Amino acid sequence: QRATVLLHPDFRVGQIDRRVFGSFVEHLGRAVYTGIYEPGHETADEHGFRRDVADLTRELGVTMARYPGGNFVSNYNWEDGVGPVEERKPFIDLAWRTIEPNTIGTDEFLQWAEREGIEPMMAVNLGTRGVAAAAALVEYCNGEAGSRWADLRIANGREKPYGVRLWCLGNEMDGPWQIGHKTADEYGKLAAEAGKAMKLVDPTIELVACGSSSMQMDTFGEWERTVLEHTWDVVDHISMHAYYEELDGDRASFLGSGTAMDRFIRRVVSSADAVGARRRSDKAITISFDEWNVWYLQSRFVGEKNLPLQKDAPRIIEDVYSALDAVVVGDLLVTLLNHADRVPVACLAQLVNVIAPIMTEPDGPAWRQPTFHPFAATARLARGTALDLRVTAPTVTTKQHGDVPLVTAAATLDGTEGAVFLVNRSAEPVEVDLSHPGVALTLARGVQVTADHEAAVEGPDHAARTIAEHVAEVDAPVTAAEPGRTTLTLAPESWLA
């Protein structure tokens, strides 16, 4: 089978915003406690944060982290998580039915992010709370001395404002599972008022309105339209969330997830632009794809309703990933790069232990899942501008997404240095004819992930073995090369950068 990919330095999608390599730390299961934070762990720093996890986070190339939720934020009182730790009271987090000790709160997270060079993205509670609490949190984080909440921060030991730039106006408010779930009208009005107040506290912030929790929601499309009609003047971005999984052994549909993500992005962009057209506005609302990943949500997760009330950082949603999952994650990254003009912000959900590229054992090791590798390689190699490619490839008809191409690609250009990202979704090798006039591609050595045919098994040993067998630095599989033209052969079901 053959495919062609044409890239040209003059055909550009847009500058890559480094925030597209974001991740997510929610108070959920072991993401915070025994994830990023574990005082007493042999690698813990003087603040109680695990150095091994921080080192892997750096290696992963995460530029930004969303906090504190997720579903968690919709019943969170941020004031309970600041001030002297010994005076903080535990509460029942209704989203995950877990006793939250409030040991880690806004200051601890923001200071961890600052130490690790990660930009924070904060979410405010628009489930059980509203305008005043949201504006107060912006003042607590970003205000200068001389007003109530900024002075509280200073009294809590932090003089300098944190300068948090990105803010989510709630989380998945279209979802019936959300604490304080709302109709699009109810949410749109509240988000507009909360956003207005937050920007009056700090006009430099960027706001994200909640889009749909997935493209499968019955309200999808109409939700975006209604919410943006209410919030148009105040928000900068609309959120997207999407999780993909292999269902009933339907490997072809799973491998085509990147095409589903691509269509989802195009539909949200169209919905946003339709609102702008009706308003005769030139404003381009961009997308914060602030939750994306492979998650065995329907097939493995029992669902929030069935969760017993738990405490002490329970093991919830600790998906174990295979090399096949890693190929799909790489393909999803290709899709995000191809929309660099409209997707400046994205978060791989999540960072540690919860559907995560990094896993830990309490009092034990931290390790990389197979999905770690395509993310780390893309964050490292994708620099500068995303190019607008022309790809021709055979297609396959899938049960879930109809026709999808068997080869996908993205490319970036930084000065004269190009990087290319290629996916072969087919079970056969594919020869790719790459035309790249005027672009020097660094194709000598690449990172390759090839899918496996085994189900993932618990534990660091399995992850290490899967990675050793399926993730490798390879000599690029080039079969012919001349200036501006390269031919290479992609391994079956593989991702290559």
Residues with a catalytic annotation lie at 172, 291
Q: How far apart are CA 229 and CA 226, in angstroms?
A: 5
**Residue 172 binding ligand AHR, by CB under 6 A:** yes
Paired with 22 in beta bridges are 64, 347
Rank residues 172 and 236 by Cβ distance to ligand AHR and give the closer one. Answer: 172
Contact region with ligand AHR (CB under 6 A), list: 65-73, 369-377, 434-442, 470-478: 65-73
Rank residues 7 and 166 by Cβ distance to ligand AHR and give the closer one. Answer: 166
Out of 253, 338, 350, 408, name the contact with ligand AHR by CB under 6 A.
350
Nearest to 168 by CA among 365, 22, 331, 385: 22
Q: How far is the CB of 292 from ligand AHR (least distance, A)?
A: 10
Contact region with ligand AHR (CB under 6 A), list: 69-77, 187-195, 274-282, 426-434: 69-77
- Cis peptide, bond prior to residue 350, ω within 30 of zero: yes
User: In angstroms, how far is the first alpha carbon of the chain from the final one?
Assistant: 20
Nearest to 413 by CA among 347, 340, 473: 340
Helix axes 148-155, 131-142, angle to 10 degrees: 50
Out of 29, 69, 105, 405, name the contact with ligand AHR by CB under 6 A.
69
Q: How far is the CB of 281 from ligand AHR (least distance, A)?
A: 29
**Residue 171 binding ligand AHR, by CB under 6 A:** yes
Q: How far apart are CA 476 and CA 490, in angstroms?
A: 9
Q: How far apart are CA 397 and CA 252, in angstroms?
A: 8
Q: How far apart are CA 281 and CA 71, in angstroms?
A: 33
Cβ atoms of 205 and 199 closer than 8 Å: yes
Rank residues 175 and 258 by Cβ distance to ligand AHR and give the closer one. Answer: 175
Rank residues 262 and 290 by Cβ distance to ligand AHR and give the closer one. Answer: 290
Q: How far is the CB of 93 from ligand AHR (least distance, A)?
A: 11
Nearest to 128 by CA among 174, 172, 180: 180
Q: How far is the CB of 26 from ligand AHR (least distance, A)?
A: 5
Q: How many CB atoms lie within 10 A of CB 414?
A: 13
**Residue 291 binding ligand AHR, by CB under 6 A:** yes
Residue 446 has which token pair? 């690449």
Out of 29, 68, 70, 446, name the contact with ligand AHR by CB under 6 A.
70
Rank residues 70 and 127 by Cβ distance to ligand AHR and give the closer one. Answer: 70
**Residue 418 binding ligand AHR, by CB under 6 A:** no
By CB under 6 A, name the binding residues for ligand AHR.
Answer: 26, 69-71, 171-172, 291, 349-350
